[in-house]
């Protein structure tokens, strides 16, 4: 008895004869051989050929002779006889290694994305009082995380869609390799910009902004300063006395905005109880916060950059060395 396997329909047909079956991948046609001949009986329209081989001999990349048997009843058992050691290795990479890498990329991408979102949220009230675009590295880092996660999803989709078929995985592999390369570019850009951001202009920007505090038509600037001083528990640019040199302070030593107060009560800035005033300036608070978050982007960005480059190299090697077709 022999088993004739049709790969696309997953249909196994039994027939009686002392023959073996050569199965072609990704096709509904099967090849039949007479093990005594050995004569090819298979695909319609092809001239019969007399072949000199033993059972289980490899023929090209897409076919294997399977010995006549009456004990094979499942697709997995047939596939086990179908595939050569090279096939098994290739399918190991397409069903185990690549999906594992895809899952890792999703986790890595989500970590980067969430880190970028958190850092941007923490720096929103800082970026509002200066023209220094220190939030750009954080945005690039966030986008790089999204791209890394997308690459991981595509890897899982491709390997699942191809059902572990090495030729199909190889066919679609440029898609996720390309996405990973774009993610690498964004990550590298974020790291470079995090090293090159200059914070010297923040002081001038803040000095100009507090000069407009409380003026008619400057409600937005006033709100930005109040939010900054309330959230960061600071007052003025370098020290709370900076307010005496503003239009709001009008040369009065003991007048600060209510947002400088520790309790932030109405008119507390005019009452001016020194024990209730946040005396440290906001400039150093902003610089310290921005430097810390830029440091996070530098360290995590470099680590994840190396991981991404390593994964691209690994995928390219697997594609070239192990994926046939």
pLDDT means over runs of 10, the chain (325 residues) = 38 39 38 38 37 33 37 45 59 88 95 95 87 89 96 92 81 91 96 87 88 86 91 92 86 80 81 85 92 94 95 91 72
Asked, for residue 93, whether it belongs to a domain, the answer is: yes
Q: Please give the Cα distance from 175 to 154 (Å, whole number).
A: 8
- Same domain (yes/no): 301, 236: yes
What's the pLDDT at 306?
96
Contact assessment for residue 23 and residue 63, using Cβ atoms and an 8 Å cutoff? yes
Asked, for residue 161, whether it belongs to a domain, the answer is: yes
- Same domain (yes/no): 159, 58: no
What's the pLDDT at 325?
53
Asked, for residue 155, whether it belongs to a domain, the answer is: yes
- Same domain (yes/no): 77, 91: no
Q: Tell me the Ramachandran region of residue 158: left when phi exceeds 0, alpha when psi lies from -120 to 50, beta otherwise.
A: alpha
- Same domain (yes/no): 74, 116: no
Last residue of one domain, picked from the residues 81, 113, 130: 81
Asked, for residue 189, whether it belongs to a domain, the answer is: yes
Asked, for residue 5, whether it belongs to a domain, the answer is: no
Asked, for residue 4, whether it belongs to a domain, the answer is: no
What's the pLDDT at 251?
60
- Same domain (yes/no): 252, 285: yes
- Same domain (yes/no): 46, 104: no
pTM greater than 0.75: no
Q: What are phi and psi of 14, to 5 degrees?
A: -100, 140
- Same domain (yes/no): 129, 273: yes
State the residue range of the domain holding 71. 19-81
Asked, for residue 188, whether it belongs to a domain, the answer is: yes
What's the pLDDT at 165?
78
What's the pLDDT at 86?
55
Asked, for residue 111, whether it belongs to a domain, the answer is: yes
Last residue of one domain, picked from the residues 29, 55, 81: 81
- Same domain (yes/no): 24, 141: no
> What's the structural domain count of the chain?
2
CA dihedral 259, 263, 266, 267 (to 10 degrees): -70
Rg for the chain (alpha carbons), in Å? 34
Last residue of one domain, picked from the residues 52, 81, 110: 81
- Same domain (yes/no): 31, 143: no
- Same domain (yes/no): 175, 307: yes
- Same domain (yes/no): 233, 217: yes
- Same domain (yes/no): 161, 278: yes
């Amino acid at each position: 008895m022999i088993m004739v396997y049709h790969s696309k329909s997953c249909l196994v047909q039994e027939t009686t004869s002392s023959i073996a079956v050569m199965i072609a991948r990704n096709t509904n046609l099967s090849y039949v051989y007479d093990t005594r001949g050995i004569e090819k009986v298979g695909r319609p329209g092809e001239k019969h050929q007399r072949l000199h081989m033993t059972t289980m001999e490899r023929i090209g990349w897409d076919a294997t002779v399977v010995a006549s048997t009456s004990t094979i009843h499942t697709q997995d058992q047939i596939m086990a006889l179908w595939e050569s050691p090279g096939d098994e290795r290739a399918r190991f990479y397409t069903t185990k290694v690549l999906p594992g890498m895809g899952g890792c990329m999703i986790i890595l991408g989500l970590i980067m994305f969430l880190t970028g979102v958190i850092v941007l949220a923490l720096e929103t009230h800082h970026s509002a009082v200066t023209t220094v675009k220190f939030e750009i590295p954080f945005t690039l880092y966030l986008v790089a995380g999204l791209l890394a996660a997308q690459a991981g999803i595509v890897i899982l989709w491709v390997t699942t869609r191809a059902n572990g078929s090495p030729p199909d995985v190889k066919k679609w592999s440029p898609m996720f390799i390309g996405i990973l390369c774009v993610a690498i570019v964004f990550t590298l850009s974020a790291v470079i910009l995090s090293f090159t951001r200059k914070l010297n202009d923040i002081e001038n920007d803040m000095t100009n902004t507090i000069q407009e505090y409380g003026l008619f038509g400057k409600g937005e600037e006033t709100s930005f300063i109040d939010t900054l001083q309330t959230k960061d528990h600071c007052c003025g640019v370098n020290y709370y006395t900076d307010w005496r040199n503003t239009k709001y302070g009008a040369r009065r030593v003991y007048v600060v905005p209510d947002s400088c107060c520790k309790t932030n009560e109405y008119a507390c800035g005019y009452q001016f109880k020194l024990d209730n005033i946040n005396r440290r300036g906001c400039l150093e608070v902003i610089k310290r916060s921005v430097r810390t978050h830029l440091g996070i982007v530098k360290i995590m960005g470099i680590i994840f950059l190396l991981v991404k480059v390593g994964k691209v190299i690994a995928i390219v090697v697997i594609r070239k060395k192990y994926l046939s077709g």
